[in-house]
Each structure stands twice: as structure tokens, then as C-alpha cells.
Amino acid sequence: MRLIAICIVACVLGGCTSSVDYTGSKVAAHLTNQCFYMTKPTFVFEGRCADLTGINNNSEFCNGIQVVGEGGFPESWDAYVQIRSSFDKNMFDRLAFEKQRSMLGYLDSGEKIIITRVVHHGWGTVGRFWAVRGEVVLSGRPIEVELPSSYLVHHVPFWLDGREKSVPFIDSSFVERCDKSK
């Protein structure tokens, strides 16, 4: 009986899709440790992102990033401050025993982001999506943010196609390579 239970658990877990970290690999060289600059102003906020520890079908707290005035985000930081409480409650769903998440700050266009992680993340029966993280400087401190790529954890618009089979490219309407900066 014990052997049957072990076999059933092994079969169920065998179908799980874990995360595969491509950071530093040749196929992700066009992203990993590369410098980009924002082509539009962006908000940095407390968000939910893919759990990159390899746990299947799970999310974790992290910092997100999104273009000002798109995907339901306010047109400016001042506009956000005026509606902070209601915006946070509507945009950032609060799970049980979780503090209310909110915006952390604002980055002007031209601010830099260095890509630090490129992970092909498994999400159960949904399949895989690409999770790309980078480092920005907010209020003089470096912080990690996850670029929007999947409806499972991010707000639209998506900065890269998380459903691509191979390592994706970041949409140039959101960022450009630093060597192309002004």
C-alpha cells in the first residue's frame, strides 16, 4: 500500500513544471546584466510576482513596475497621491493576513534598469512563462523589480511576451538599450 502511495505522489509531482533559471546563459545574453533605459515614466509598486524558488504555480511578494497612465495606473504621481487609498485597494488585491500593498515611487523616462534574472517559470497546467527581473534605483536605493510579462501576476501592458518559447526580447516601446540613449 505504501508503494502505491509513493508511486501516485511521484506521478503527480512528475507532471509539475518547475522554474528554469537562464540568468547568465548564452541564450539570455541579450538580457542578463544588460543596461536599458525607460522610454516612458514608470511607477514602482509592491506587487506579486512569480515565485522563482521553483515552487510550481505560486507567487511571492516583490516589486513591480508599470508605465504611468497605462493599464489602469494614474496619469501622474500627484494624481496617485490624491486617490492613494482607493487606488491601492482596487489595484492591489489584498489576500488574507496581508498588508495593503501600494506604490513605492516614480521613475522618470531615461532612468536605467539592469536585468538581473531571466527565469522560465512553471505555472501548473497553464504552462510556462518568462519572468524577467531587473534592478532600478528608487530614492537613491537599488531595488529589484519584475517586468510585466504574464496575466497570472502582472498588470497590462506587458513589457515582454511571457509565453514565448525562447528567451524573449523586451518591447522597445518601454525600454531601449543604454548604448542607444541620448
When pLDDT is averaged across residues 139-160 and rounded to a whole number, the result is 80
Q: Which amino acid is at 147?
A: L
- What does the pLDDT read at residue 168? 80
Q: How many domains does the chain have?
A: 1
Q: Does residue 107 form part of some domain?
A: yes
Q: Does residue 6 form part of some domain?
A: no
Q: Does residue 92 form part of some domain?
A: yes
- Report DSSP state, residue 12: H
Could you tell me the CA-to-CA distances from 170 to 55, 104, 139 in Å, in that order? Answer: 25, 23, 25
Q: Is the dihedral of CA 112, 117, 122, 128 positive or negative?
A: positive
Tens of pLDDT along 67-106?
Answer: 998 888 999 999 999 999 999 988 887 777 777 888 899 9
Burial of 179 (0-12, 13-18, 19+ CB in 10 A): exposed
Could you tell me the CA-to-CA distances from 53 to 17, 98, 119, 121 in Å, in that order? Answer: 12, 20, 10, 9
Q: Does residue 10 form part of some domain?
A: no
Burial of 65 (0-12, 13-18, 19+ CB in 10 A): buried
pLDDT at position 176 over 60: yes
Q: Does residue 163 form part of some domain?
A: yes
* Mean pLDDT rounded to a whole number for the chain: 81
Q: Does residue 7 form part of some domain?
A: no
Poorest-confidence range of 82-86, 105-109, 127-131?
127-131
The boundaries of the domain holding residue 90 are: 17-180
More confident residue, 146 or 12: 146
